[in-house]
Amino acid sequence: MRCLSRFPATDLRTTGVAFTAAVLMCACSSTTDPSNVALRFTSAQANVANQLVPPPATVVATAGAIQITGYVTTPTPCYHIAASQNVVDTTLVVTLTATSSATACAQVLATFQFVAAATGVPSTVTHVRATQTGAVAGYSTVLVDQAVPA
């Protein structure tokens, strides 16, 4: 158990009670420890040519998991989209970062569809916020900022 590494070995060997307490603390921490959150992220260029503005992002939540699906726009199609996550107080914060991946590229706007799926989300998380940065220097776009759906 990775969680047990937080306890000194001598504490765990001293008594069966100490070991049992450590295991119970670790088991309980899986629903409240923000460091247990894992993010799976995918993105691909989307075909939304017939839409002036892509559809808004959507959020779906289940016990311990939150999935955000949406679109980001970049100045050219030659961008790589990456994501990171953090839990701040009661908010799951997902940051999408667009990084140019070419020196020469067609000068047309591009839209990428993304799916960010966070698992191991603490039960204390009641809000979700996703932002896009990097496509335009010094500019950040809020993609979703809402309460976690029931």
> Splitting the chain (150 residues) into consecutive groups of 10 residues, what average pLDDT does each group show?
39 40 39 78 84 85 95 90 94 94 85 95 95 79 91
How buried is residue 74: exposed, middle or buried, by Cβ count under 10 Å (0-12/13-18/19+)?
buried
Rg for the chain (alpha carbons), in Å? 20
Query: Is the CB of residue 101 less than 8 Å from the CB of residue 138?
Result: no
pLDDT, residue 67, reads: 97
pLDDT, residue 31, reads: 44
pLDDT, residue 135, reads: 72
pLDDT, residue 141, reads: 87
pLDDT, residue 137, reads: 65
pLDDT, residue 55, reads: 84
